[in-house]
Each structure stands twice: as C-alpha cells, then as structure tokens.
Structure 1
C-alpha cells in the first residue's frame, strides 16, 4: 500500500459504538420499551433482532441486489431514476453533505417504492406510482424477491413502531392509523459502494454525513464495516463511531420526521459511510407516514415549559423538498438518452 493510501485510511480510525439490542420476540414489552427509549434518547440507533426475516431470505435479497449492480452501465441507465424517485441512481448522483463533500456520494443505488398502477389516482402523488423493474428475462425472480422483502420490512417496521409509541407514552397502535403506517410512503433502496477508499480530509465519502428524512429506517448490511454515527453533531471535533455489522440483525435509526414529532426528545443522528477499499452492499428501507399526514408535535412531547419547536408540516411536501435538495437534476443525464 502506497503512502497516499495510508494517509487516506488514517482518518477512518474510530471506536465502535455500543448499541442496544431490541428483540421483537421478547415477551417483556416493558424491557423492550426501556431499551428502545434509552437508545432513542442517546443516539437514535439500535439493533433489532428476532424480527422473523430468515437469514436465507436476506442472503437471497443481497444476491439479487448484487446481480443488478453487476449489470453493464448501459443496462442500468435504461432504468435511470425518474421524477418519482424510482429506479437506478448512478455514482455521485446524491450529495448528502454538500458543505464537506467533493462531487457526491461514491455509491450506486436503486429505489423501489409503493407499487401503484399508472392509471390509479394515487399515482398522481409524489413517491407513488409504478416502479421501474429490470426485465424478468434479464434478472429472473428479482422483482418477486424485492416485493417480498418490502412486505417483510413493513411488518417489522409496524412492530418497532408499537414499541416507539409506548416509549413516547402513546397508545401502542398510535402509528397504525390509515394516515400514518396504514398507507405509508415506504421506499426500499438497494445500495452498492464500489471498493474505493474514503478520505474525509479531502471530502471523499461513500455517503456524506446526514440524518435520514422520515420516520425510521431499517438497514441490513453485509459484513463489511463502513457505517459511522456521530452522537453529538455540535461537538468540536466531531467524534465518529463505527456501527458493527451484526449478522441476522437489522440496524434501525430514527429520521428527522420523528425528531420533529417528538419535539427533539428522540434523536435523528448524523451518520455517514466511509470505505476501506472493499466492496460493500446494504439494503435500506425508509418508512414515512402517508402524504397527507400532518406532522405536528405529539401531545405527550410538549408542555408549557417545553412548547413545540417546529411548525406543523405535511409529510409529502416535507419529503419532496428533502429529496430534491440532495439528488442531481435529472436533466444532467440527458446525454445518456438515445
């Protein structure tokens, strides 16, 4: 390894974060609520175990993801992300930390949302509509695998949301309402980090520092370390800790929307991805309420001494603004059209 590579790797040295493990099979719900509440106040990150998604099926999801990213670039560009944020995102398409990044994130991605037929009135809404799917001839079984994972991930999300509701002194089914997780904006994103080396000192990252936009995120990763969290974004210097991959577990983190909802009692924590030269794959499932859901301070999270910190906002308009602020304009890809 040359000296320049050694210098690039050096800033990545960091300790590993200690995160709570929440078992969805534990009959002691009070224990789960206590562990989750501590995690949400401390870092907004925790592991979920015993979630019911088999290791065999997760391996199949990752295998199918790899098959897509192994396709020639011309094939992938035929499925380029559209205005509904469905489809393929090339390397550098997303810039999550524009103040500190050079160019953009060194990752490829693929967005899969809630499948809504084009002639359905619901398809007029942002983030709803038909997905872009690789042809079955090219990748047989690919669509079926991803749709099954969407169903499994939503089931896990609803189970976690019940514990979150209890931790916020709400009814367990608070988030089950139609306008919340009854008709959610749920996005599955496959991510591939090509094996390069990050250099924070030069603004080169697998994914720049950011907090997630929505309610919560379920993240499955391979065994390659790369995810880092910063529990105190205002600290100088910032302290970054690795989140260790844990086979069979999902890493769960809270999004900005839940931080708004909880009046900052629960935390949406900054995180980023730094690469060590190995290829890395992850599968993220982002969950937000319905488009019409009004996100305003929860009744259990404000008082006369602690008034609401944010104005009410509808979920759909809030998300659209956040997505448009971080992704490249689609017109930049016109040169790839035939």
Structure 2
C-alpha cells in the first residue's frame, strides 16, 4: 500500500513504519478467499480492512460532517449531554484512561456514545448499555439523530456480515454468531470521536488514546485521512514495536476484541492499539458490535483440545463489558463535584 503523505513521520521518526493489513471484500462471491484472508489477518495481527461493505461514501461523509457539527458546539452545550450510567452521551477530554501504567492523564479525545435505542418503560432498558439514547436538541443540529440512527443500523449489518466470515474462519457454522443470545440482540455501541490537535508524546505519557485492546467481539472503525492509529502485533515484546495503520478511503478498519480472543482461546487475537496525535485535528467513528447481555462467552469447541485446554473461565457478556467500562472511565460523581 502506498504510504500516505503526512507530517507524522517528522513528529515521530521512531514510529514511522506501517502495518500491511489484509483487505476483505465483503461483496466478493468468493467466500473461501474472504475466509482465508480474514483467518490469516486474525492469526497475524487481529486487524484488517473491509471494503465494498455497502455503506455509500456520500452517507459516510454526511456522518462525519454531522459528527463535526456536534463537536463544534460550545462546551456548555456538550456538557448538558454528559454521558449517563448507561454510557450514552458526551465524554469530555480526559474522561477515559485506557493505559494507566503509561499515561499521565486520560485520553486527549472527546467522544459521544450512542447505543441500541430501548424505550425507558421497556423491561430491557434495565440492563446495562440498554435504554434511551441521549440526543442533542433537534434545532441545535438538524437531522443529527436521523443520520446517527441510520448509520447505527447500517454499521450493524456490516458487522454481522463480518461476524459470519469470522465464524467460518473458526470452523463454525456461518450463522453461529447470528443466534438471538449473541448478535440477535446485540450490545451495539456507536462512538463518535474527536481528537484535539494536541501533539502526543509517548515519553511523557501523553496520548490521543492510550494503548488498549477493545473489550468485545469486533470493532468497525471509520477514520478521516489524518494518520494516528497504531497497532502493536506482539504486546509481550520488549521493547514493543508500533506500526501505523494507514487510513483507506471507503474502508472500515476492523479489529477483534478481547471477547473473541476468549472465545477462540487466544487462537484469534485482540491486538494492542493506540492513537498518537500529531498536531492535527482528527475524527473517527468506532462501532463496537458485542453479544447480548446474557451471552455466555466460553471457549469454542473448535478452539480447544487436550493440548490446548480453555485458558479463560466462562463469563457473561454484559457483566464483562460493564466491568471493563468501569475500569477505564471517570466516575460520573466527579463531574457533579465540579
């Protein structure tokens, strides 16, 4: 892949190598080729591109434009929409701390969480991550809610299509993850992200987003053309080697989460990644597709043997995600003090 032009190399000469990721064409009739490419990507790095996914570039541009309109609002307006205990709404800069061992402060990014819309009077709304979304007033950003709801639905279909290829790559039935208790009633979270123009400095512990692996099943990431995302293919290496993932217009960057690593008994890997700021503003849109609250994540039959017994105890999806969010986000009570 041609190396994109960016001033990032000058900012970080020690981190100027690029990762070479496989590209999966979702629309390809050659399903075996897609399975083979995806399987290799999941064994190697846990990251790959997905193209021809069915979401038009025109609509993607609109989603990014609407995201920018929100983040351009005055802070006083954004704080009225501060995230709630269901993880819906606005997250200010430094709200999230993903790598406490290396970061001096939290992440230098702001975000906005949107999930599956469940009315408040629905019994399902009692579960973590379910409930009504927090929406900006319609007259503040016209069409914003309609755009985000449409994107949430379309991204979910792409995610489910990717999950079917992952199932085949794990020697499972293609519809394995489609079951009601898995992606039939998913915890699906859309997160708009804006990285301010602060320059990251790993030596001083300043990051756009600290090093972490994602919590759930898979993440679909759409980015603008500003470089920033890095992956570390071997988290146990010393020193760790970080590679940039080049933005690819019209593609999703897809990565596996920790739940899939548990399911696959570490055969497929959730990979450490982080974001370095280089002085430019950067926008991205992450879509986290995770199984339903009651889904029991335990070692798949095709991923264990006498020589490779299960490495993790079974865990309920909702409880696991709740704990991971609690570990990485600022306690909401601290905002009330201010």
State the TM-score, normalizing by the size of structure 1: 0.96
Q: Partner of 1:111 in structure 2?
A: 113
Runs (4 or more) in structure 1 with deviation over 6 Å come to none
Cα distance between partner residues in 2 of 1:208 and 1:10 = 16
Residue 14 of structure 1: how far off its partner (Å): 2.1
Specify every segment of 5 or more residues in structure 1 that has no aligned partner in the other structure, as ranges.
1-5
State the TM-score, normalizing by the size of structure 2: 0.96
Cα distance between partner residues in 2 of 1:46 and 1:187 = 20
Q: Partner of 2:3 in structure 1?
A: none
Cα distance between partner residues in 1 of 2:12 and 2:199 = 11
Match of 2:71 among 65, 69, 72: 69
- 1:115-130 equivalence runs, <5 A: 115-130=117-132
Residue 103 of structure 1: how far off its partner (Å): 1.1
Match of 2:256 among 254, 263, 266: 254
What RMSD over aligned residues (CA atoms) do the two structures have, in Å? 1.3
Q: Is the 8 A contact 2:15 2:242 kept in 1?
A: no
Q: Is the 8 A contact 2:228 2:244 kept in 1?
A: yes
- 1:1-338 equivalence runs, <5 A: 9-10=11-12, 13-336=15-338
Cα distance between partner residues in 1 of 2:110 and 2:67 = 11
Cα distance between partner residues in 2 of 1:295 and 1:83 = 24
Residue 138 of structure 1: how far off its partner (Å): 0.4
Secondary structure of 1:47's counterpart equals strand
Specify every segment of 5 or more residues in structure 2 that has no aligned partner in the other structure, as ranges.
1-7
**Count of equivalent residues:** 331
Residue 332 of structure 1: how far off its partner (Å): 1.0
Residue 12 of structure 1: how far off its partner (Å): 5.6
Q: Is the 8 A contact 1:9 1:198 kept in 2?
A: no
